[in-house]
């Protein structure tokens, strides 16, 4: 079966649907930032009818409006790869959704010299406890923090075993990447990281030997057979 990754669509699903139509049915993995203005099961109805399954990780643009959030998370919750390991055609795929934020945890020094700040909150519970009354959304995190990465999320995922790490954020080989993603992939035993967010199409290898594939806007990329 085909495992097809796709970079951030930003509402442009046509290149991804065309790529699916040209391949044997399998599993489509979307790397976030769909910003979908209609339910994704409706947007991808043709490939779902053809036998494809759809998985996804959350991107920052998927939490900018209630519409974008509900058309992804609300419409197809079973496709969520976030903070879990899912076996897809014999490949163990782990998902790290969302982005790092200074108000929660930003494990990088952008000037290259300053110390990295400690996390302000380790988990959602501590963040919610400090949240001013009335700022919750639907009984939990505010919408604009549904895409935030907390340290405890990464710790839990790092204790599992997986072959491929799918992320919205980038690892350290990208100029805007994070070493903590390298470390997460190594802890899980991954040999490949696939990410979106920055719209850069490239291949690289980390110092620890893990391969990296960054995908451009709505760029489809099938998992090579030698990665299975």
Specify the pLDDT at position 227: 66
Which CATH number fits the domain that encloses residue 127?
A: 3.60.21.10
pLDDT tens-digit series, residues 149-182: 999 999 999 999 999 999 999 999 999 999 999 9
Task: Give the span between the Cα atoms of 3 and 226, in whole angstroms.
Answer: 12
Query: How far is CA 26 from each of CA 75, 141, 167, rounded to the nearest angstrom?
Result: 20, 34, 20
Residue 86, both tokens: 């899912």
Residue 46 pLDDT > 90: yes
Q: Which domain holds residue 67?
A: 2-227
Residue 154, both tokens: 């990464």
Question: What is the SS3 string spanning 121-153?
Answer: CCCHHHHHHHCCCCCCECCECCHHHCCECCHHH
Would you mind telling me the total number of residues written for the chain in this entry? Answer: 228
Specify the pLDDT at position 148: 98
- Phi, then psi, of 47 in degrees rounded to 5: -80, -30
Task: Give the span between the Cα atoms of 196 and 100, in whole angstroms.
Answer: 14
Number of domains into which the chain is organized: 1
Q: Is 180 in a helix, a strand, or coil?
A: helix
Task: Give the span between the Cα atoms of 137 and 140, in whole angstroms.
Answer: 5
pTM above 0.75, yes or no: yes
């Amino acid at each position: 079966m085909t495992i097809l990754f796709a970079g951030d669509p930003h509402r442009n699903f046509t290149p991804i649907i065309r790529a699916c139509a040209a391949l044997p049915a399998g599993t489509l993995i979307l790397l976030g930032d769909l910003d979908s203005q209609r339910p994704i099961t409706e947007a991808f109805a043709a490939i779902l009818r053809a036998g494809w399954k759809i998985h996804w990780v959350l991107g920052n643009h998927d939490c900018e409006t209630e519409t974008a959030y509900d058309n992804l998370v609300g419409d197809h919750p079973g496709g969520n790869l976030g903070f879990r390991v899912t076996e897809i055609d014999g490949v163990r795929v782990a998902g790290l959704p969302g982005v790092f934020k200074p108000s929660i945890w930003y494990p990088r020094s952008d000037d290259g010299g300053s110390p990295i700040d400690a996390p302000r909150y380790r988990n959602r519970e501590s963040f919610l406890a400090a949240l001013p009354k009335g700022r919750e959304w639907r009984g939990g995190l505010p919408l604009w923090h549904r895409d935030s990465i907390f340290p405890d999320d990464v710790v839990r995922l790092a204790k599992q075993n997986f072959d491929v790490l799918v992320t919205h954020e980038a690892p350290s080989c990208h100029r805007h990447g994070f070493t903590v993603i390298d470390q997460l992939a190594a802890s899980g035993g991954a040999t490949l990281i696939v990410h979106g967010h920055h719209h850069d199409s490239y291949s690289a290898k980390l110092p620890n030997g893990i391969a990296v594939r960054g995908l451009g806007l709505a760029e489809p990329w099938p998992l090579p057979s030698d990665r299975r």
